[in-house]
């Protein structure tokens, strides 16, 4: 029987070899992604042809792929989002599926705070000016006293609330479920929070997938001069509509880490009042190590369950 594991993430175990040692301890052979990028479907099929497990990145693992991976028993997603995995197809084929929901929480929350500070204090913009030989001071804004609306109040949304509360912001959240919060934050309906917030930050759960949550109508409902942050899912913000409200000054600025199509090559790159990052929410060394170890532990747990073995 094959003991091969495909590790399809673009990078893996670069900062800590513990995940690979865990596989070796179980006498499993592994193949790292040779392309160092998101795999295409045919590449997944080729590389995982006889694999019993995949430690997955963001490549598509839909029915047309899974139907050809006859030896596959476990998919362990190194990350939170599961929208690239066709869960119904996996279940039909008795393939167990896991993810790592805890690993990236602090990393994404800290990135959110970082881009908020960047937007309000115009750090990137002044950095560019100085590099161009232009010593120009730009007036910024404080987080203190701002009304911050958090859309999606799961692990990451709650951690963002905790971090921003230290700055003296007034915080409210919108979620399909009422959540308990030890901090002074209130729950508002989606339409209400859009109109209320000086700053709207999106932390939607993976189950929302690529649905357009913030479109032209919602952007026009936002306060004039407010800010928008999306570090959750590409496609939940209509990027063309966002370009228009940033261009005409209705929004003061935006920070976007995730896009409908990646790598992103769209018009938002032309605007000085938007901070763009290349889907790096979980890209903090400590968080990455934690996620990779958890992904391997999940994979091993799944293989044990499939073989009927106990720990």
Q: Show which residues are catalytic.
A: 233, 262, 279
Instruction: Report whether 273 contacts 254 (CB < 8 A).
Output: yes
Peptide bond into 49 cis (omega under 30): no
Cα–Cα distance measured from residue 258 to residue 175, given in angstroms and rounded to the nearest whole number:
20
255: which DSSP letter? E
Cα–Cα distance measured from residue 90 to residue 37, given in angstroms and rounded to the nearest whole number:
24
Strand pairing class (4-7; 29-32): parallel
Instruction: Report whether 77 contacts 85 (CB < 8 A).
Output: yes
152-162 in b/e form (b: 16+ CB < 10 A) is bbbbbbbbbbe
Residues forming beta bridges with residue 97, ordered by sequence position: 75
Residue 161 contacts by C-beta under 8 Å, 6 or more apart in sequence? 150, 153, 171, 173, 181, 183, 185
Six-digit token string for 41: 């479907």
Residue 243 contacts by C-beta under 8 Å, 6 or more apart in sequence? 266, 267, 268, 271
């Amino acid at each position: 029987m094959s003991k091969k594991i495909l590790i399809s993430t673009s990078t893996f175990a670069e900062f800590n070899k513990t995940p690979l040692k865990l596989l070796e301890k179980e006498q499993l052979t592994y193949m790292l992604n040779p392309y160092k990028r998101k795999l295409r479907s045919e590449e997944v099929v080729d590389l995982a042809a006889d694999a019993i497990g995949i430690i997955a990145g963001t490549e598509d693992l839909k029915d047309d792929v899974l139907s050809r991976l006859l030896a596959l028993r476990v998919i362990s997603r190194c990350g939170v989002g599961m929208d690239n995995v066709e869960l119904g197809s996996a279940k039909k084929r008795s393939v167990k599926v896991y993810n790592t929901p805890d690993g990236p929480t602090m990393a994404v929350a800290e990135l959110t705070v970082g881009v908020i500070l960047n937007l309000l204090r115009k750090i990137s913009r002044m950095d560019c000016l100085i590099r161009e030989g232009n010593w120009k001071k730009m007036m910024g804004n404080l987080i203190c006293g701002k009304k911050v609306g958090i859309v999606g109040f799961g692990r990451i949304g709650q951690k963002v609330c905790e971090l921003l509360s230290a700055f003296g912001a007034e915080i409210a959240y919108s979620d399909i479920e009422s959540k308990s919060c030890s901090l002074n934050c209130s729950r508002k309906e989606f339409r209400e929070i859009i109109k209320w917030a000086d700053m709207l930050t999106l932390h939607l759960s993976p189950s929302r997938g690529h649905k357009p949550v913030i479109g032209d109508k919602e952007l026009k409902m936002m306060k004039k001069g407010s800010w928008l942050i999306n570090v959750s899912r590409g496609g939940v913000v209509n990027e063309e509509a966002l370009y228009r409200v940033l261009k005409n000054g209705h929004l003061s600025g935006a920070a976007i880490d995730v896009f409908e199509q990646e790598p992103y090559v769209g018009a938002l790159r032309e605007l000085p009042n938007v901070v763009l990052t290349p889907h790096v929410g979980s890209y903090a060394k400590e968080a990455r190590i934690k996620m990779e170890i958890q992904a391997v532990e999940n994979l091993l747990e799944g293989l044990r369950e499939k073989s009927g073995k106990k720990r």
